[in-house]
């Protein structure tokens, strides 16, 4: 019989929980007990009272305990009791196995198992769990051949932070547009007739020099330097008095921390007057002709620029003040220019900002002024001719402030504002023009392409509902969609006596249609292709390319034949955008208005961007963004909208190019005059030659200003 059988047939005894845990508490003690039972069964018990000594079995190797935990000392084994003289009882195999196990544990220095209570087991388990929770999680190891570190896939990455919304542009206290227009008109009236009369006072010195150039002797002028200085000083004083607005603007902009061309022109006039006065007071007029005639012409061109700028501001504000609540305004969006409905606060603030020419001049003209002072000192004192400092400076300063610098912004701006004022539009200065034309994109909607009166009903046919009910359902769906068909069905509702119904669960479809629920019935409305994809059966005799169908609960209810008539103004506006390379973005909600329809009705060469359904809806809803107004529109249709954007684009191009050419001419004139004055070649740097040089640099600016209004 095996030990397993003995244990089964052994008499049943009651064991406590502590004894069971003590008996089978550790895996090592349980293993040793099983090994000790095997030799006890193989060797039968000896018959004599004194058991024979047996060879001790070799114990299996036991792993050494960790160094930080020292095992308690094993208890000393008590000597075996003396054998009794009575006949030995029958040995119990279970007791023999227990004794052998205790002897093996004692030999291996294993502590005797002690009773463990249930509270100790639960406490040790909780401590182990808490210890695991306190252990730091090691970072994942990098793979052997991986280029990127392994990432923890169990934890999801946090959602991206939303982009911070841009702060709205501040709007300071501003007058009403009517008050601003009134002030601009008064300023323009004061400057209106300030160009012709200064021209008569500034041209005589130039004419006298021109006559001398062709060997014509002028009485009281030719050969007398003292008389020439007196005449030049008188002409310069009269011209400066008539062109006093140049001084007011130049020094007024200096108070606003802006250094513009009018300031350099004013300084050149003062230096030329000081040169003429020094010659008269010094008694030695000298042999070199003063450069006061160049400063006189510079004053006339600067006054012309001041007058034209006032004219442009007046035209802009006069058009903007026509209506306190304009029908449309143009703003800038991330997708491009957008025509919206809104109010005018912020228009004057945008228009009052500095133009790009003034900004560029503020950055570069101080360097030109410093260079002129240094060059004048080097060409006079550096060449041991200290008396020529005012003469050289009066030649370098007009060259640094060319005739074209005051005209870079004034001429193109007045040309555009005058053109837009006749068409019923107004742009808020340089800032407004730059904002709406920077991206060369325009958002075009149904009402822009087909204004009121161009969409007509060409016929209708009913299948299930009455005429009043069909018109009411169609008008309700068109209003919920916000498409250009709303006006058409609005007229039908009024004429047929229908009414608008509440539309629930309204949805758009990419296939070109809408769906909604009206009084618990599913209503579909759209083109023929949309109805077929929605499993609505259409009659075979109905073939409408621009028709609109109405279905209730998948049953065809009515068909409307819609005709789209092209407008000449819209066609001209599309060609204008094509010439100006402005990309129109079609944001239509009408299922029939697609790029193919635009090519059939208008110029086939027009390319329109046609985004997806969700983007088209978002772009068409951009009319409700209510951004700051960059331009105001007082007429319906696409033509005023396109003229505003295209004109703004041309204005920005013309001003930038004119400013770049003028600044380049200023730098070239400064270097050239410095070179000639340092050599003392005043016969080459004659005042008449310097005027011709500056007039040649002005010619491109005049051509660009005329090009601004031609589009």
Return mean pLDDT, the chain: 80
Cβ atoms of residues 258 and 365 within 8 Å:
no
Strand partners for 548: 560
Shared domain check, 417 and 451: no
Q: Is residue 348 part of a domain?
A: yes
SS3 state at 555: strand
| Residue 604 lies in domain | 441-633
Phi-psi region of 505 (alpha: psi -120 to 50; beta: other; left: phi over 0): left
Nearest to 614 by CA among 510, 702, 489, 519: 510
Model confidence at 540, pLDDT cuts 50, 70, 90, reads confident
Q: Tokens 């005449």 — which residue?
A: 231
With a cut of 60, say whether residue 38 has pLDDT above it: no
Same domain? For 376 and 445 the reply is no
Only one residue has tokens 């054998």, namely 83
Whether the predicted pLDDT of 130 surpasses 50: yes
Which of residues 695 and 100 earns the better pLDDT score? 695
Question: What is the token pair recorded at 476?
Answer: 């309700």
Confidence label for 96 from pLDDT (cuts 50, 70 and 90): low
pLDDT one-digit tens code per residue, 224-271: 888 889 999 999 999 999 999 999 999 999 999 999 999 999 999 999
Say yes or no: 469 and 542 in one domain.
yes
Let me know whether 529 and 653 are in one domain: no
On whether both 207 and 235 belong to a single domain, the answer is yes
Which range has the worst mean pLDDT, 36-45, 243-252, 318-327, 374-383? 36-45
- 624 lies in a domain? yes
- The enclosing domain of 528 has a CATH number of 3.40.1110.10
Q: What angle do CA 221, 223, 229 make, to 5 degrees?
A: 55
Range of 42-46, 431-435, 565-569 with top mean pLDDT: 431-435
Domain shared by 456 and 552, yes or no: yes
In this prediction, residues 46-60 reach a mean pLDDT of: 40
Range from 27-36, 50-59, 181-190 that averages highest in pLDDT: 181-190
The pLDDT assigned to 693 comes to: 95
Q: Which of 586, 612, 589 is nearest to 598 (CA)?
A: 586
> Which tops the pLDDT comparison, 186 or 325?
186
**First-to-last C-alpha distance (Å) of the chain:** 117
171 located within any domain: no
Which residue, 574, 599, 633, sits at the end of a domain? 633
pLDDT at 625 over 60: no
- Residue 34 placed within a domain: no
Q: Clarify whether residues 627 and 550 are in a common domain.
A: yes
Q: Residue 34: what pLDDT?
A: 54
Q: Is the dihedral of CA 288, 293, 294, 296 positive or negative?
A: positive
Beta-bridge mates of residue 564:
455
Residue 320 CA: distances (Å) to CA of 179, 211, 337, 643, 675: 11, 50, 19, 16, 50
Q: Give the full edge-to-edge strand order of the sheet including 336-340.
A: 425-427, 631-633, 328-333, 336-340, 441-444, 583-586
Q: How many CA atoms lie within 13 A of 324 on its CB side?
A: 4
Q: What's the total number of domains in the chain? A: 2
pLDDT score of 138 more than 70: no
Write phi, then psi, for 467 (nearest 5 degrees).
Answer: -60, -40
Residue 446 and residue 429 in one domain: no
DSSP codes, 556-598: EEEEEEEEE---HHHHHHHHHHHHTT-EEEE---STT--HHHH
**Do both 327 and 256 map to the same domain?**
yes
With a cut of 90, say whether residue 100 has pLDDT above it. Answer: no
Percent of the chain with pLDDT over 70: 75
Q: Is residue 33 part of a domain?
A: no
What mean pLDDT comes out for the span 400-406? 93
pLDDT of 134 > 70? The answer is: no
pLDDT at 132 over 90: no
Flag whether 64 is in a domain: no
pLDDT of the residue at 19: 57
CA distance 130 to 3: 42
Task: Tell me what percent of the residues of the chain surpass a pLDDT of 90.
Answer: 40
Taking residues 18-33, report their average pLDDT.
Answer: 50
232 domain-assigned? yes
Q: Are residues 386 and 254 part of one domain?
A: yes
On whether the CB atoms of residues 309 and 410 are closer than 8 A, the answer is yes
Q: Is the pLDDT of residue 301 over 90?
A: yes
What's the pLDDT tens digit per position in 647-658?
A: 999 999 999 999
Going by pLDDT thresholds of 50, 70 and 90, the confidence category of residue 120 is: low
- Asked, for residue 369, whether it belongs to a domain, the answer is yes
Co-location of 182 and 282 in the same domain: yes
- Give the angle subtended at the CA of 407 by the CAs of 405 and 411, to the nearest 5°: 160
pLDDT band at 66 (very low <50, low <70, confident <90, very high): very low
Of 633, 649, 671, the residue that ends a domain is 633
Kindly indicate the confidence band of residue 318, based on its pLDDT and cuts at 50, 70 and 90.
very high
- Which residues, 6 or more positions from 549, have their beta carbon under 8 angstroms from its beta carbon? 524, 525, 526, 527, 528, 530, 531, 536, 538, 556, 558, 559, 560
Distances (CA, A) of 278 to 229, 273, 283, 285, 385: 10, 8, 8, 8, 15
Q: Please spell the DSSP secondary structure of 687-698, one letter per residue.
A: HHHHHHHHHHHH
Q: How far apart are CA 479 and CA 548, in angstroms?
A: 14
Task: Give the pLDDT confidence score for residue 640 in this predicted structure.
Answer: 92
Supply the pTM of this predicted model: 0.72
Which residue do the tokens 């210890």 mark? 131
Residues 424 and 458 in one domain: no
Quote the distance between the C-alpha of residue 541 and its chain's center. Answer: 52
């Amino acid at each position: 019989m095996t030990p397993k059988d003995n244990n089964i047939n052994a008499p049943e005894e009651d064991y406590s929980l502590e004894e069971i845990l003590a008996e089978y508490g550790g895996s090592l003690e349980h293993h040793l007990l099983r090994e000790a039972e095997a030799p006890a069964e193989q060797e039968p018990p000896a018959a004599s009272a004194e058991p024979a000594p047996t060879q001790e079995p070799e114990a299996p190797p036991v792993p050494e305990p960790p160094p930080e935990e020292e095992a308690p000392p094993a208890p000393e084994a008590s000597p075996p009791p003396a054998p009794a003289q009575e006949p030995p009882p029958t040995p119990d195999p279970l007791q023999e196995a227990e004794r052998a196990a205790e002897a093996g544990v004692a030999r291996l220095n294993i502590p005797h198992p002690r009773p463990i209570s249930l509270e100790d087991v639960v406490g040790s388990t909780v401590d182990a769990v808490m210890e695991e929770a306190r252990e730091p999680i090691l970072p994942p190891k990098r793979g052997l051949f991986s280029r990127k570190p392994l990432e923890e896939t169990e934890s999801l990455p946090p959602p991206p932070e939303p982009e911070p919304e841009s702060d709205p542009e501040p709007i300071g206290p501003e007058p009403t547009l009517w008050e601003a227009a009134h002030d601009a008109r008064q300023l323009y009236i004061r400057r209106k007739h300030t160009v012709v009369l200064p021209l008569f006072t500034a041209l005589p010195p130039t004419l006298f020099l021109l006559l001398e150039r062709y060997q014509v002797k002028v009485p009281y002028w030719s050969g007398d330097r003292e008389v020439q200085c007196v005449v030049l000083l008188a002409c310069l004083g009269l011209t400066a008095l008539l062109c006093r607005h140049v001084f007011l603007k130049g020094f007024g902009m200096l108070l606003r921390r802006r250094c513009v061309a009018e300031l350099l022109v004013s300084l050149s006039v003062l230096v030329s007057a000081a040169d003429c006065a020094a010659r008269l007071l010094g008694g030695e007029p000298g042999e070199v002709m003063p450069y006061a005639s160049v400063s006189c012409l510079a004053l006339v061109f600067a006054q012309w620029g001041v007058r034209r700028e006032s004219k442009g501001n007046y035209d802009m504000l006069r058009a903007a003040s026509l209506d306190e609540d304009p029908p449309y305004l143009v703003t800038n969006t991330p997708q491009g220019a957008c025509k919206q409905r809104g109010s005018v606060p912020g228009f004057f603030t945008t228009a009052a900002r500095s133009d790009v020419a003034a900004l560029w001049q503020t950055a570069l003209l101080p360097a030109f002024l410093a260079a002129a002072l240094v060059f004048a000192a080097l060409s006079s004192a550096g060449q041991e001719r200290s008396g020529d400092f005012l003469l050289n400076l009066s030649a370098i300063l007009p060259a640094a402030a060319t005739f074209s610098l005051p005209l870079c912004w004034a001429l193109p701006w007045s040309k555009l504002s005058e053109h837009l004022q006749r068409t019923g539009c107004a742009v808020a200065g340089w800032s407004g023009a730059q904002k709406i034309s920077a991206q060369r994109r325009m958002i075009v909607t149904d009402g822009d392409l087909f204004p009121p009166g161009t969409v007509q009903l060409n016929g209708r046919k009913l299948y299930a509902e009455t005429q009043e009910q069909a018109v009411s359902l169609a008008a309700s769906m068109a209003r919920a969609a916000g498409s250009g068909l709303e006006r058409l069905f609005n007229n039908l509702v009024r004429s047929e006596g229908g009414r608008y119904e509440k539309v629930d669960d309204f949805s758009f479809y990419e296939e070109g249609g809408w769906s909604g629920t009206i009084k618990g019935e599913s209503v579909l409305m759209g083109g023929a292709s949309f109805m077929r994809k929605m499993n609505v059966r259409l009659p075979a005799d109905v073939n409408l390319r621009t028709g609109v169908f109405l279905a209730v609960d998948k049953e065809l209810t009515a068909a409307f034949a819609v005709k789209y008539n092209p407008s000449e103004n819209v066609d001209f506006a599309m060609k204008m955008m094509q010439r100006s390379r402005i990309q129109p973005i079609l944001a239509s909600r009408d299922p029939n208005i697609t790029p193919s329809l635009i090519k059939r009705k208008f110029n086939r060469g027009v390319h329109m961007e046609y985004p997806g359904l969700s983007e088209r809806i978002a772009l068409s809803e951009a009319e409700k963004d209510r951004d700051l107004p960059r331009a105001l529109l007082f007429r319906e249709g696409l033509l005023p909208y396109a003229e505003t954007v295209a004109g703004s684009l041309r204005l920005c191009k013309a001003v930038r190019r004119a400013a770049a050419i003028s600044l380049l001419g200023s730098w070239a004139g400064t270097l050239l005059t410095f070179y000639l004055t340092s050599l003392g070649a005043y016969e080459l740097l004659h005042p008449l030659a310097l005027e011709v040089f500056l007039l040649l640099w002005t010619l491109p600016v005049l051509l660009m200003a005329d090009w601004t209004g031609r589009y």
